[in-house]
Structure 1
């Protein structure tokens, strides 16, 4: 090789090295940025996006440790508030399964179960109609305390948002947590957000309708086999006094008291919530 050719090679190498320094390589967007973009996406209704300030979806999901390649189970997604964020986040590398309310085969009798079965059907239909946005989403059912079909070590993460108080009311909190434990892979994460009752002392709390004591929830999860690895105040609301005539349902978004003290309840905002991260031990 001639001296001229060698010098040209060195010059070009230095030139491209400079370009690399000026224009660093393109890297994948950080999960936080992607999650925040999805929380603010045009596909979400104005009403859903207004709740971001109370539910803090990007921060909450990052606290739980979500990654785009995970297999995730969302329990009782309702109207799909979190599904609108989870499904597109996971659709390219991971997968999302929804544990919907029990299908109404004609045997449901109480109005609440019939209502939520109808909500589940509408969400399933919407996900199918907007598959370009949601991707492929699997549906199963949770009729507490059991999944249908049963799930055995299928998921890297299970997420439940404000459902535990319903399971507790029906006497199925521990049994449902056991089913979730079985559904998780060893080392998998259970992320839970729940309305938090007022703590009176180390051994007592005041739990009006819809609220649960944090220590009680942690104890139930630990008895089911989970280990608590972290808790967060991401979804705390110190303005929530937790002493309303209809409990948590007096607050937004339900506003069960109608026009009575409506401005006051709107000013308080959504409930004070515990945010808990559990793992299923490897052994």
Structure 2
């Protein structure tokens, strides 16, 4: 499996090289990363030092500190994600299979400007502990976008969510607003427990992948599938970003993602980001 993962990573890296003309957008992020960070309060440092005692170099809890629930969560979601300096596209990873058997259902989830930005930004795996490949198609001139969720090892497509983005000063933040309007899911799921439905399982995976990998909480409480209820409650772990990001009106995404969003200004639609 490690050899297969390395092969896919090499193929993906070759594809990323073809996008090298975009790297100039990262200069500002690199300069910001070089700046020393401000001292943290003593209590925050103590909390991080305590957490570090239970983690190895990859950010994974040591086996001795893991519960059955932690192990199940790690198998499904991998290590905690971090915001990368470039936007993820369908070319960022070599394995991305289509649905085997799909169906659509409406799903209404309001999105904050920050959540929209991070969904569009996506996530590409780097190591075997990264279990998800998440990328967005769009948004187009009408504000429609689709976010695709794949398992990184196999490329299997788990779900895609359709976004409806509204542009202009009508949003509370003065940037943009939007929502998830549709869920397309893979209904051919091997080993699905009888007490769980495909819809419940896929919604759980999408919401928890957004929370764990992208760092955005789309709902106040994520409902776990019935088969997980016997396991202990997932511990609350603080999410750390490993790279410096540009803050654009309170939305923490890379400059490249903001450039992609702002290109819509030039498409003869009423987009008011300023």
More helix by share: 1
Q: TM-score, normalised by structure 1?
A: 0.30
Kindly indicate whether structure 1 or structure 2 has the higher relative contact order, using CA contacts under 8 Å at least 6 residues apart. 2
- Return the TM-score normalized by structure 2: 0.30
